[in-house]
Amino acid sequence: GTGSGRGPPCPGAAAALRRWELLRRRAATAAPWARGLLAAAAGLGLLYALLRLPLRLRDGLAAVTVFLSTLTPKFYFALTVTSSFISGLIFVFEWWHFRKYGTSFIEQVSVSHLRPLIGGVENSPPAPAAFSVGENEANRQNMPECKVWRNPLNLFRGAEYSRYTWVTGKEPLTYYDMNLSAQDHQNFFTCDTDALRPSDTVMQKAWRERNPQARIKAAYQALELNNDCATAYVLLAEEEATTIVDAEKYFKQALKAGEMIYRKSQNCHSQSPQHEAQLRRDTNVLVYVKRRLAMCARKLGRIREAVKMMRDLMKEFPLLSMLNIHENLLEALLELQAYADVQAVLAKYDDISLPKSAAICYTAALLKARAVSERFSPETASKRGLSTAEINAVEAIHRAVEFNPHVPKYLLEMKSLVLPPEHILKRGDSEAVAYAFFHLQHWKRIEGALNLLHCTWEGTFRMIPYPLEKGHLFYPYPSCTETADRELLPTFHEVSVYPQKELPFFIHFTAGLCSFSAMLALLTHQFPELMVIFAKA
C-alpha cells in the first residue's frame, strides 16, 4: 500500500525477527559469566564436530571396503583393459603430434593455456630483432637468422615440376614455397610505372593469380596488347612450356624484348625517380632471362656455352652478387671437370666476409678430397696416421658438415631425394636437398670421395659443443630450421632434423602408463583371484 511494490511481511518471519532482536539485546546486557558460558557451549559444539569427523571417515572407508569386496575379477580386468586402451590412444596421439610438429601436445596445452590460468607465466627473453642492412658483419655472424633464399638452381615449373606431378600424382611444391615465388615475381618484374602501360598492368595482375591457367591466359592477353612484353614471355617459359627446348624459345623472345626495353630505360633513367624504378625493373628482367637461358643451355648439354653466358652475366652486372649466379657457374664447371676454374671461383667467393652456402663449403671439401681420396684407406690411415693433405681434406669435410649437417646423408644415399624447392633455408634440410640433387653426380665422379666422406663426416659432431650454445667454425646452428623446412618441403618427404630432439616427458609417461596397464590386465586375466586379493589389500 506504500507504493514500494512490496507486499506485507509474513507474520511468522516478523515474529522470528522480533525474537532474534530480543535475544541480541539480552546478550548485550547480560553479565560477563553468561557470555563466557555461551562461548564455552560454542567451543564444545566445535569439539564434537571435530571428534565426529574421524568416525565418519571410518564409516566411509568401511563402506568403500565393502564395495571393493563385492567386485568380481571381471570388473578389475575390464578396468585395466580400459585404462590401457585410453593411455595407448593418448600415447599414439602424442607420438604423431611430436613427429609432425616437433612438440608434445600435452606440454604445449599446459604451457599455452593452463600456466597463465594458475599465474605461472615465465618471463621469456625478448625475441631478437631482424638484422638491418647497416649492421656490421660481426653481429650478423654471432646471431643466426632463419632467412629463406631463392634457390639459385630452381627447376622450371612447366618443364620439370609439372611433369613430376603428371607422372607421380604428387605435388613437389608447397603453397608456402609458391607464395614466396609469387612475391619474388612481383618484386622483380613490377614497378610503379606499370599503370602507364596496359600490357604491364595485365602482367601485374597475372603475377598475383593463384591459378596457373589464369596466369597463362593473362600472359597471352598482355602479348595481344604488346608483342614485346618480356615478362609475358618469361611467364610462358616458366609455366606453359613442357620441355626445356620450348622454354628456351620463349626466353629467347623475352631476351629480344628485354634488351630493347632495357636500352630505352637506360637513356631516360635519370629524368625522374619513376624512371629509375623502371630501369631497376628492366635490369631484373634482363638478368633473370639471361640466367635462365644459361640454365637451359646447361640442361640441354651445351655446357661451355652456359659457362660463357654466366661469366658474361657476372661481368656485366657485378653488383648483383646476391643472386648467387656463381653457384650456377660452379655446378657447370664441375660438370666440365674444370677443377682449376672451380678453385678460382672459390678463391673469390669463399671469403670470410661473404655469406656461405652448402655449395661453397662442400665444393671446397670436394676439391680437397679429390687430391687424396683415390689412395685413401681407413686401415692404412689408422696405422701410419693422416698426411698433411688428408688432414686438410678431413678438416674441409668437417667444416662443410658443421655448416650443413643434413647433406652427407643425401650424398651417401642414406636418405631419398625429392625435387628441390624453389626456395631454400641455408643450413637447413631444404638446402641439403637442393645441393645433393645437383651435386651428387660430381661426388660420384671422383673416385673415393664418397668413401672419404663416409669415414669422416660423423667426426664433426665430436668437435661441436653440446648443447649448441656456440659453434666451432660458424655461429651456432639455428633452432628455427625445422619449422621453415617443413613449410618449404613437401609433406611426403621426411624432414631431416638437427640436432635430434629428445622425446618429451609425456611420451615416456604415456608409454609407461600404457605398458603398466596392459601388464595389469594380463595378470588379472591369468590370475584373477590373486589380483583381486592384491587389489583388496
**Domain containing 162 — which CATH number?**
1.25.40
Residue 389 lies in a domain: yes
Do 194 and 296 belong to one domain? yes
Do 309 and 405 belong to one domain? no
Do 359 and 466 belong to one domain? yes
Helix-then-strand count for the chain, H and E:
25, 2
* 123-149 per-residue burial string, b: 16 or more CB within 10 A, e: under 16: eeeeeeeeeeeeeeeeeeeeebebebb
Residue 528 lies in a domain: no
| 481-484-490-492 Cα dihedral, nearest 10 degrees | 50
Residue 446 is which amino acid?
Answer: I
Residue 14 lies in a domain: no
Do 182 and 247 belong to one domain? yes
Query: To which residue does cell 664447371 refer?
Result: 333
Total domain count for the chain? 2
pLDDT tens per residue across all 537 residues of the chain: 444 444 444 555 566 667 667 666 666 665 566 666 767 777 777 776 666 667 677 767 777 666 666 666 777 677 777 877 887 788 787 777 776 666 667 776 666 665 555 554 444 333 333 333 333 334 334 434 578 889 999 999 999 999 999 999 999 999 999 999 999 998 888 887 777 788 889 998 998 888 989 999 999 999 999 898 999 999 999 999 999 999 999 999 999 998 998 888 877 766 677 778 888 888 889 999 999 999 999 999 999 999 999 999 999 888 777 788 999 999 999 999 999 999 999 988 877 667 788 999 999 999 999 888 877 777 777 777 778 888 888 889 988 888 888 999 999 998 899 999 999 998 889 999 999 999 999 999 998 888 888 888 777 666 665 544 455 556 666 677 888 888 999 988 888 887 565 566 666 777 787 777 778 777 777 777 777 677 666
Residue 103 lies in a domain: no
Pairwise CA distance, residues 82 & 521, whole Å = 9
Residue 426 lies in a domain: yes
Query: To which residue does cell 596445452 refer?
Result: 109
Do 198 and 271 belong to one domain? yes
Do 422 and 471 belong to one domain? yes
Distances (CA, A) of 343 to 104, 351, 365, 367: 47, 13, 11, 8
Pairwise CA distance, residues 119 & 116, whole Å = 5
Do 311 and 399 belong to one domain? no
User: What's the burial of 355, exposed, middle or buried (CB within 10 Å: 0-12/13-18/19+)?
Assistant: middle
Do 222 and 345 belong to one domain? no
Do 240 and 368 belong to one domain? no
Does an H or E element contain 327, and which? helix 325-336
Do 438 and 493 belong to one domain? yes
* Set of cell numbers at residue 130: 631482424
Residue 62 lies in a domain: no
Task: Give the range of the structural domain holding residue 470, as residue numbers without chain letter.
Answer: 340-514
> Which residues sit opposite 148 in a β-bridge?
425
Pairwise CA distance, residues 258 & 240, whole Å = 19
Residue 439 lies in a domain: yes
Query: To which residue does cell 698426411 refer?
Result: 387
**75, 520 Cβ separation under 8 angstroms:** no
Please name the residue ranges forming H helices in 371-446. 378-384, 388-403, 407-411, 429-445
**398, 471 Cβ separation under 8 angstroms:** no
